[in-house]
Structure 1
Amino acid sequence: MRNIPLYLQIVIALFLGIIWALLSSYLGWSNFTNNWIAPFGDIFIALLKLIAIPLILFSIIGGIVGLGNPKDLGKMGLKTLSFYIGTTFMAVALGLLLVNTISPGKKLSEEVRVESRIAYEIWAEDNNIESIANPALNNNKLYKEALKNRDNIASSSEVNPEDIVQPPQKEKGPLQALVDIIPENIFNALSGNGSMLQIIFFAIFFGIALLYIKPKKADPIIQLVNGMSDAFIKMIDIIMIASPYFVFALMAGVVNDIAGDDIRKVLELFMGLTWYSVIVFGGLLIMAFVLYPLLLKAFGVNIKYRDFFRGISPAQVLAFSSSSSAATLPVTMECVEENLKIDKKTVSFVLPIGATINMDGTSLYQAVAVIFLAQMHMIDLSLGQQLTVVLTATLASIGSAAIPSAGLVMLMVVLQSVGLNPAWIAIILPVDRILDMMRTVVNVTGDATVCTLVDKTSTGINKK
């Protein structure tokens, strides 16, 4: 087993977990699976949640201070950041457009979606979170019937069905969302009582402040921040060593809960995952091979389509196989400098920043995943909530470590930002690895595109 690559171990564990769940359902071992196997999956989720907040805090601060003194960045720094943020918004917008148009989460049967909705409401109630109302459920007979039997889905105290169908909504002003981004107490936000956007705002604000104080005072803090970031990334590495066993337990528990006594529900789930995968994969292909070349043309960059992709193809292949932007960075720099003939100073400035803060593929995947999971649980996110997804996914991409599966940790952040259950990442785990490989290709392609744009549009700018 040690000689098998980790990603193959995880894939094998996924299938073994699914097979175990189906067998336990068929043989009547569901209680054993829930009591003695599934808890290890809960431990896996808890460990990821433990790391998510400090990782994003220190990674974002480290990414900001890694830009250097803002007075020395000049026009090139501003242009680099503008392009990176712009392409990330573009990726998230594309993901939201595709997932809202095709609605993969609504491809599942109404029965499965109703049970998922009830489970969501029970989770929200148990965690003192206001569930997101869906007025369409008021006239849904299957939903009303399921409310009467909710103890069969998960144990919970009796609740007035009308309160679940139409929870009271507090009146908020048009700028309340902006007010909510500012934390009154950062320690309260870090404890989980605040929004993830508050933590991201504090991290960016703190990182910018470090750039403006004297290096003698800032350096010890920067070293501490970078050390903490490295430590939490190493914690992910340690967890991932045992991840095949955790993933087996996680999938066994999730599929066992979904299947119950009806194995057909599992087949429906995987049909929904197929639609989800097609949308993510299609969106990533459009981003990498359509929108990036159009962006180059829009800014008058004179480079042939074939020459661009032939030049960066070695980096794309390595990104696909390694699922790591950081591991691919040296090859990306060589490809862009040698094959695309980009100035060495531009390459050394733009690409390392991109490997830290530019995660277009990850952002697109997060947007699609959140809406898919919401649709599956009969949750219609409002325009404001989807804008929160856009903003959180964009800012969280700054804190996404350039390592395999880091997007999963950040997806939990995005789910929490709109009041959804972060444990739902287990649902998309079976297809995450192959999508992780493809979204890393998009991340690296985006880095090369922005580097080319900055170089070709920087006439007269001092490239430091």
Structure 2
Amino acid sequence: MDQSPPKLSLTARIFIGMIAGIVTGTLLQALFDDSGDFAFSVFGITVSTYTVLVEGIFHVIGQVFINSLKMLVVPLVFVSLVCGIMNLTEPSKLGRLGGKSVLLYVSTTAIAITLAMLAAIVVQPGAGVALPTDAQYVAKEAPSLAQVLIDIFPDNPFESFAQGKMLQVIVFAVLFGVAMAMAGKAGKRLGGVFEDLNVVIMRLVTILMNLAPYGVFALLAKLFADINPDTIFSLLKYFLLVLAVLVLHAFGTYSVLLSMLARMNPLMLFRKMRDAALFAFSTASSSATLPVTLETATKKLGVKNSVASFTVPLGSTINMDGTAIMQGVATVFIAQVYGVDLTTADLLMVILTATLASVGTAGVPGVGLLMLAMVLNQVNLPVEGIALIIGVDRLLDMTRTAVNVTGDCMVACIVGKSEGELDVERYNDPDAAQRDEDLDFEHFDRNPG
């Protein structure tokens, strides 16, 4: 009789890796400071222990893990979206999916920044913070609205694939899927190939998820070994306020919307989002987390692929709820530090600018700080004030990414339910996802070839 101990769930293993990484990084920072680090010699070359561990081993493992996840994003989105689009029975359904998804994403972003600004006005995180004399921040130039619209459509899809321009990949996948659906027998033959590719890619996602605890450990060990605790303490009020609004938006706004619009139990959503949220927290990247988010939406939450393959990648590109919260609090914080009184018109302008910018600047690197620079310019606040919050932005970025991916799945569930493309029984079954996970990993363990 098999007496082997019960296997830990993926969530438990990732959580253990996350806690171990935080503890390891904190201990490394405490032990290997300027006075406590020690070095050893290899072939006559003096090497720092701290450098070998943090900048060497942990950095390499963490970046290999991130790159492995990003490696899957473009093929996963393209193949999955083509499969979903080619199976749509009504051409008008695509327009409904897009309209509902964009409306929900923009609405939640507007709610997020409004909550953030109201909270910042009440709490006043910038009160008592000394005005900086040497703060410097150079903002990148934001693209014009005309250029944003042009850039959505690829002139070379292969270049879009290579550079990971997700909006362009989504547009090409939609057009390709529609063409396959209209191509008759040729489209059906090619569709079988795409269905098989989708199965293989999802199996690859499962393999990488099995390695996730090690990648999460390395990422967080390096982060907490490098982070400066003094910076967090100096901005503790701002830091805690952003965290509080993020939690309020995730558990408050999302619960209300899911309950009202889809008549679904939000507690089941949060329960099944644990893996994706932990991935998002560890990687601080919605794009890197996309393979896990998409699998969560389809296998755990029961959203049909025809809906999830469209709404989830779109959300990872334009859903900026967490970033909007940071912008709302940061704008009021910077105004308070510089002694600027924001009028009601200014506050409304911030809400409008940040909401529209969440879509317009989706493909720009460093999107969060770029959007904040745009918002500050709109209300004549010094962009240099961004330098005040950069020190704590990395930790907050991790949390707001977890909020963003939760919002992606929430919207997928609402849109799926409205279109009759949500398996309600699977959504409400707390054990369905666990059974699928166990089957996947048993197959992986016993059939490595």
State TM-score, norm by structure 2.
0.55
5+ unaligned residues in a row in structure 2: which ranges? 1-20, 35-80, 86-90, 166-221, 423-449
Pick the aligned partner of 1:352 from 294, 298, 313: 313
Q: How far, CA to CA, are the matches of 1:360 and 1:295 in structure 2?
A: 14
1:99 to 99, 107, 120: 120
Q: Alignment RMSD, CA only?
A: 4.6
Cα pair distance change 1:200/1:417, threshold 3 Å: farther
Matches within 5 A, 1:137-148: none
1:155-194 equivalences in 2 (<5 Å): none
1:226-241 to 2 correspondences below 5 Å: none
CA contact (8 A) 2:304 2:421 kept: no
Give % identity: 34
Contact in 2 for aligned 1:320/1:441 (Cα 8 Å): yes
Query: Equivalent residue for 2:255?
Result: 293
The offset of 1:304, in angstroms, is: 2.5
Matched residue type, 2:382: N
Please name the residue that 1:387 is paired with: 348
Are 2:140 and 2:370, in contact at CA under 8 Å, matched by a contact in 1?
no
For 1:11 and 1:224, the matched residues in 2 are separated by 41
Q: Alignment partner for residue 412 of structure 1, among 369, 373, 380?
A: 373
Distance 1:276 1:298, change over 3 A: same
1:330-369 equivalences under 5 Å are 330-369=291-330
Offset at residue 289 of structure 1 (A): 1.1
Partner Cα separation in structure 2 for residue 273 and residue 332 of structure 1: 32
What is aligned with 1:85? 106
Shift of 1:410: 3.3
Matched residue count: 294
SS at match of 1:219: coil
What is the alpha-carbon distance in structure 2 between the residues aligned to residue 460 and residue 228 of structure 1? Answer: 32
Which of 211, 220, 238 does residue 276 from structure 1 map onto?
238
**CA apart distance, 1:71:** 7.7
**Within 1, Cα distance between the matches of 2:403 and 2:106?**
15
**CA shift at 1:371, angstroms?**
1.4
Cα deviation for residue 397 of structure 1 reads 2.3
Match of 1:206 in 2: 150
430 and 460 in structure 1: CA distance in 2 versus 1, 3 angstrom threshold: closer
Q: CA, structure 1 residues 431+191, in 2 after alignment: closer, same or farther (shift >3 Å)?
A: closer
Give the C-alpha shift of residue 401 in structure 1.
5.0
CA 1:336/1:224 → structure 2, altered by over 3 Å: closer, same or farther? Answer: closer
Cα 1:368–1:298 change in 2 (3 A) is: same
Q: Could you tell me how far 1:204 is from its partner in structure 2?
A: 4.0
TM-score, normalised by the number of residues in structure 1: 0.53
Q: Is the 8 A contact 1:326 1:402 kept in 2?
A: no
What 5-or-longer segments of structure 1 have no aligned partner? 1-5, 20-65, 128-189, 211-217, 231-243, 252-265
Question: Is the counterpart of residue 446 in structure 1 residue 407 in structure 2?
Answer: yes
Q: Which residue of 1 aligns with 2:418?
A: 457
1:282 Cα deviation after fit: 0.3
Quick check: 2:303–2:421 contact (8 Å CA) kept in 1? no
Contact preservation (8 Å) 2:350, 2:379: yes
Q: C-alpha deviations, 1:84-112, integer Å up to 9, x for none?
A: 1111111111111111111111243xxx3
Q: What is the alpha-carbon distance in structure 2 between the residues aligned to residue 71 and residue 204 of structure 1?
A: 25
Shift in CA distance, 406/11, structure 1 to aligned 2, threshold 3 Å: farther
**Equivalent pair of 1:84/1:358 in contact (CA under 8 Å):** yes
8 Å Cα contact 2:232-2:239 kept in structure 1: no
